[in-house]
Amino acid sequence: MFPLIVLGAAALTVASLTPIVQSLGLKLGCVDQPNARKIHQQPIVRIGGVGIFAGTFLAWLLVGRLGLNALDSSIFLGLLLGGLGFFATGLLDDLFNLSPFVRLGMQAILSATVWSLGIRLEALPLPGLTAALPSWLSLLVTFLWLAGMANAINWLDGMDGLAAGTTTVAAAVLAAMIWPLHPTMALMALGLCGATLGFLKYNAAPARIFMGDGGSYFLGFALAALATIGLPANGSFTATLLPFMALLIPVLDMTLVIGARLGDRKSPFHPDQRHIHHRLMHAQLPKSTVVWCVYGLTLLSGLGAMALQHTHAGWWLIGATLALFTLTTRSLWPQPEITVASLPSVSP
């Protein structure tokens, strides 16, 4: 019963707050303007992350109050401070258009802070690194993981309902994976799932509000942190790999896009249309089909990670995910950069 209360409290909070946030955003002029790289055709409020953050925090505080005895207080504090910090970084960018390096610097400070509170990657799925990492290397990979996922979800937020729905699927999968190991942490994943589910009421096509960088940075941090804490490495290769497999699609999308940009001798932050959703649109797929394709790939990789907890047969699902990702995006083969002119016309 309590899991449904946590899920429902987050969803109802976001669903109730989002219209208020939308009205406030219109009054303050916090809107995302159409341009050549974006697919919406009219200004839309871009601070919907305020509602997502509030709904998730309410759920987390509820879980913390009733289950804190089962949750390390420093880790709980790290989740709250890290979530607040990543959300604030994104919201400041929504309001004042910060440079990528300022945002990355803020994310580095926040990552170091939560690392000191116990939210840390202490192993990697690499030979000789599955048991324990030196402190300096643990800090570095924790920063790359937390900031990387924050930016991966931010980059995935390019179509109506895409980032919110993908996070809903990923958070639900994480909750199921974590439950046998850490029920309290699984409840916090359910709170995140409920918040994005409530936001989809307004963000699914046709979107009436965007989550903005504040929402996407918070969601990316929350997914990465919950996977890190809830799926601890036990010295085995498979256990060390689980957090990455559970969130495989955002990780793949970010990695391949950065690789393509560097291959063109451009900055990793150079905006373009190489992301998975852009490539699927380039194949003339309807917008709704593109969104459901990404949802499906996220679910498939999540099911593969769940299966890997119990049997090596999970590798077949992971392999199928990689094959489908390759087939649907053609990201592993050189191709000309997608131009706006080549994309289908879509309504907001």
Walking along the chain (348 residues) 10 residues at a time, the average pLDDT comes out as 92 98 94 66 90 97 76 90 98 94 97 97 84 91 97 94 98 96 94 98 95 98 96 86 95 90 85 83 86 96 96 94 84 42 37
Instruction: Check residue 272 and give its pLDDT.
Output: 79
Residue 105 structural domain: 2-342
Local structure of 32: helix, strand or coil: strand
Instruction: Check residue 337 and give its pLDDT.
Output: 47
- Return all residues near 333 (Cβ < 8 A) that are at least 6 apart: none
Q: Is residue 347 part of a domain?
A: no
Instruction: Check residue 38 and give its pLDDT.
Output: 57
Instruction: Check residue 102 and give its pLDDT.
Output: 96
Instruction: Check residue 189 and give its pLDDT.
Output: 97
pTM for the full predicted model: 0.92
Q: Is residue 99 part of a domain?
A: yes
Q: Is residue 190 part of a domain?
A: yes
Q: How many domains does the chain have?
A: 1
Q: Give the Å distances, CA to CA, from 221 to 1, 60, 72, 90, 130.
A: 27, 14, 19, 11, 23
CA dihedral 225, 228, 229, 235 (to 10 degrees): -170
Instruction: Check residue 306 and give its pLDDT.
Output: 96
Q: Is residue 348 part of a domain?
A: no
Instruction: Check residue 65 and give its pLDDT.
Output: 82
Q: Is the dihedral of CA 299, 303, 308, 314 positive or negative?
A: negative
Q: How far is residue 171's CA from residue 344's CA, in Å, rounded to a whole number?
A: 31
- Return all residues near 167 (Cβ < 8 A) that are at least 6 apart: 153, 192, 193, 196, 219, 223
Instruction: Check residue 140 and give its pLDDT.
Output: 97
Q: Is residue 80 part of a domain?
A: yes
Q: How far is residue 50's CA from residue 256's CA, in Å, rounded to a whole number?
A: 30
The H or E element containing residue 6 is helix 2-28
* Residue from 243, 246, 247, 249 nearest 324 by CA: 249
Cβ atoms of 90 and 49 closer than 8 Å: yes
Q: Is residue 288 part of a domain?
A: yes
Q: Is residue 12 part of a domain?
A: yes
